[in-house]
Amino acid sequence: MKIPAFIALSVATLLLAASPARQDGAAPASASAANITLDPVHSMAVFRIQHLGAGYFWGRFNELAGKIQWPLDDSAAPSFDVTAQVNKVDTGSEKLDGNLQGPNFFNQAEFPTITFKSKSAKKLGERHYAVTGDLTLRGVTKSIEVDCTVTGVGKAPTGQKVGVECAFTVNRADYGMKWGIDAPKGALGSEVKMVIALEGDVAKAKE
């Protein structure tokens, strides 16, 4: 028996709509997105900046906090709501940490947190996304694109854990952090490379 063309076309359209390849737009698309609470001990952000036009030095923000939502079957993109505390900056030098928290850089007294909240994502491959979101730093909010990869789903005695690694580069002058770029000229670079390593606990489903 011949299947009417319009029925075949409708079924094909429904199958395409359910395909995991379509991940555009705000995530999660799937109702089965897991709520993942960040583990502050195993979540951190590292940054790199050039010093005096010579070497690069790295620093980090410890104890990131926040949430990720992501379906464990990778049927939709992850969404992020992550906060870093400026007073958790760690460069290995207490004096340098203090300077970075001061008004010439992050100005911890006025802006104690740095946040990232995702708005949308584009799938680049398996567990690999370009996530667009708002980065708020020093009171300035700008939309940025972050390259994110879900690095793994593991098991712990307390339940499942999910790891995500993200990378992006910002121009700190865009956020009002200009000391050392033009004055004194070249003391510190303007481009800051960020690598964010996140690990979180998957919330157990309510019975």
State the residues that interact with other proteins by CB under 8 A. Answer: 51-52, 57, 91, 93-99, 101-104, 107-110, 138-140, 176, 179, 183-188
Q: Which is nearer to other proteins, 25 or 184 (CB)?
A: 184
Nearest approach in angstroms of CB 136 to other proteins is 10
Which of 23, 2, 40 lies closest to 78 in space, CA to CA? 23
Q: Which is nearer to other proteins, 111 or 130 (CB)?
A: 111
Q: How far is CA 137 from CA 47, 140, 151, in A?
A: 14, 5, 26
Three-class secondary structure of residue 43 per DSSP: coil
Nearest approach in angstroms of CB 185 to other proteins is 4
Q: Which is nearer to other proteins, 11 or 140 (CB)?
A: 140
**Radius of gyration in angstroms for the set of CA atoms belonging to the chain, rounded to a whole number:** 21
Nearest approach in angstroms of CB 66 to other proteins is 22
Q: Where is 41: in which H helix or E strand?
A: none
Q: Where is 56: in which H helix or E strand?
A: strand 56-61
Nearest approach in angstroms of CB 60 to other proteins is 14
